């Protein structure tokens, strides 16, 4: 009985998570063996997930280039790139 319950919970969790992404987002996610290219990529994404004003530094841009980050683009003007 416990195995059936865990299986049902796993199935429902998987179906719920899969329903939150578009088909193109799912294709991009399946195209990589991890969700983020690096820890820096994960921190950048978390930092800029819901912010109305993204915070992007030149180091972020250089690292994204070097590590070939994927996912939705965060766009800022040249004068909005912060220095650290």
**17-43: pLDDT as tens digits:** 656 667 777 777 777 777 788 889 889
For residue 23, the model assigns a pLDDT of 78
Q: Are 84 and 59 in contact (CB under 8 A)?
A: yes
CB-based burial, 46-66: b 16+ in 10 Å, e otherwise: eebeeeeebebeeebeebbee
- Percent above pLDDT 90 for the chain: 4
Q: Are 35 and 45 in contact (CB under 8 A)?
A: no
Most confident by average pLDDT, 11-20, 31-40, 53-62, 70-79: 53-62
Q: What is the mean pLDDT of the chain?
A: 79
Cα–Cα distance, 12 to 32 (Å, whole number): 24
């Amino acid at each position: 009985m416990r195995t059936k319950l865990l299986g049902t919970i796993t199935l429902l969790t998987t179906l719920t998570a899969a329903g939150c992404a578009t088909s193109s987002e799912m294709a991009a996610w399946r195209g990589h063996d991890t969700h983020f290219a690096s820890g820096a990529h994960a921190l950048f994404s978390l930092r800029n997930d819901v912010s109305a004003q993204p915070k992007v530094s030149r180091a972020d841009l250089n690292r994204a280039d070097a590590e070939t980050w994927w996912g939705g683009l965060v766009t800022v003007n040249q004068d909005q790139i912060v220095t650290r």
